[in-house]
């Protein structure tokens, strides 16, 4: 315990008492921590409104490019903005407190009581109903579970050097062939949770009622460690599209922005480029997001 306390590594896990469920709670809310995503944030917000998201809690991590104005225009009353431009450190050990983890814990504890589901995702991640007309319809058969693990489906640059005209969904239609392929596919997860049963969290995982347990979107249970097993992989009802790189120009800008934690710039750049190479090593066409928009009578941007 003392070794962990004074290791200098960031604090990436928080525990807390979950909120008490409101009697009329319902729907899905998103938690977003964001910094300078004006180019694509309007498409992100509009897509999730069409998919049936009820509210977005946007944690403004120092935006200077109009991102929040665009979110307000797209979402109206379905948006709450929380200023979140900070780097906080433990006063005794000096360890950084992971800013995303702080935001997610704050959102769940303060806003979770009114929602049946919450999901903390980034501006480059889209929750796509696989066959249904909304995320609510996709989630309905999973009413008895408390945590739904969604694996990344990683999209790379799709041959774009400069930023293409139009939106992400229209222009990025190939992804890593095998989302369950570990390092080759840059495998990770985001999770849709019942906020009133979350007792601890990291960026990519949650504890439910004190246990490191989750379910896939077929309703099958596993431990948080066990969800990496190939047989647990599922994208039956909801697919998580992760537009990791977008164009080469945007990739270089992403690298230049640096990590959302205090990470050495050269290490951050090398990690991002290695991830992109892995994503693009073997790809398949994926039109699921376009198919969803067509199914509900919407055009891609």
- What pLDDT does 31 receive? 98
Q: Which residue has the tokens 């008895």?
A: 144
Stretch (H or E) spanning 110 = helix 99-111
Q: Which letter, b or e, does each residue of 47-70 get, where b requires 16 or more Cβ atoms within 10 Å of its Cβ? A: bbebbbbbbbbbbbbebeeebbeb
Residue 165 burial (C-beta neighbours within 10 Å; 0-12, 13-18, 19+) = exposed
- What pLDDT does 253 receive? 86
In the chain the domains, ranked by start, together with CATH numbers, are: 2-17+26-294 (3.90.550)
Tell me how far apart the alpha carbons of residues 116 and 144 are, in angstroms, rounded to a whole number. Answer: 11
- What pLDDT does 2 receive? 42
Tell me how far apart the alpha carbons of residues 10 and 290 are, in angstroms, rounded to a whole number. Answer: 38
Mean pLDDT, 10 residues at a time, the chain of 301 residues: 57 97 98 96 98 98 97 98 95 93 98 98 98 98 96 95 96 92 70 98 96 97 93 96 94 77 74 90 96 97 92
Terminal C-alpha separation, the chain: 50
* pTM of the predicted model over 0.85: yes
- What pLDDT does 255 receive? 85
- What pLDDT does 204 receive? 93
Q: Compute CA distances 160 → 38, 65, 109, 125, 173, whole Å.
A: 19, 23, 41, 19, 12
**Which residues share a beta bridge with 215?**
148, 221
Instruction: Read off the tokens for 172.
Output: 């990025």
């Amino acid at each position: 315990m003392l070794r962990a306390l004074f290791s200098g590594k960031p604090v990436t896990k928080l525990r807390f008492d979950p909120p008490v469920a409101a009697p009329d709670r319902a729907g899905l809310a998103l938690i977003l921590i964001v910094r300078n995503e004006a180019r694509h944030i309007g498409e992100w917000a509009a897509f999730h409104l069409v998919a049936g998201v009820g509210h977005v809690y946007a944690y403004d991590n120092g935006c200077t490019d109009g991102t929040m104005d665009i979110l307000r225009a797209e979402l109206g009353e379905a948006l709450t903005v929380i200023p979140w431009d900070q780097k906080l450190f433990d006063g005794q050990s000096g360890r950084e407190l992971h800013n995303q983890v702080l935001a997610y814990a704050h959102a769940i504890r303060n806003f979770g009581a009114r929602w049946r589901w919450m999901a903390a995702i980034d501006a480059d991640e889209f929750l796509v109903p696989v066959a249904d007309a909304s995320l609510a319809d996709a989630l309905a058969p999973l009413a008895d579970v408390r945590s739904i693990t969604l694996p990344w489906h990683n999209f790379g640059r799709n041959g774009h050097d400069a930023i293409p005209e139009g939106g992400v969904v229209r222009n990025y239609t190939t992804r890593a062939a095998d989302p369950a392929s570990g390092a080759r596919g840059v495998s990770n997860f985001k999770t849709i949770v019942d906020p009133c049963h979350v007792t601890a969290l990291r960026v990519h995982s949650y504890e439910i009622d004190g246990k490191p347990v989750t379910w896939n979107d077929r309703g099958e249970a596993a431990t948080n460690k066990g969800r990496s097993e190939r047989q647990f992989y599922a994208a039956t009802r909801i697919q998580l599209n992760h537009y990791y790189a977008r164009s080469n120009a945007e990739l270089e800008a992403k690298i230049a922005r640096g990590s959302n934690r205090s990470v050495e710039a050269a290490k951050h750049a090398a990690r991002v480029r290695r991830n992109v190479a892995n994503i693009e090593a073997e790809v398949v066409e994926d039109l699921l997001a376009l198919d969803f928009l067509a199914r509900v009578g919407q055009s891609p941007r």
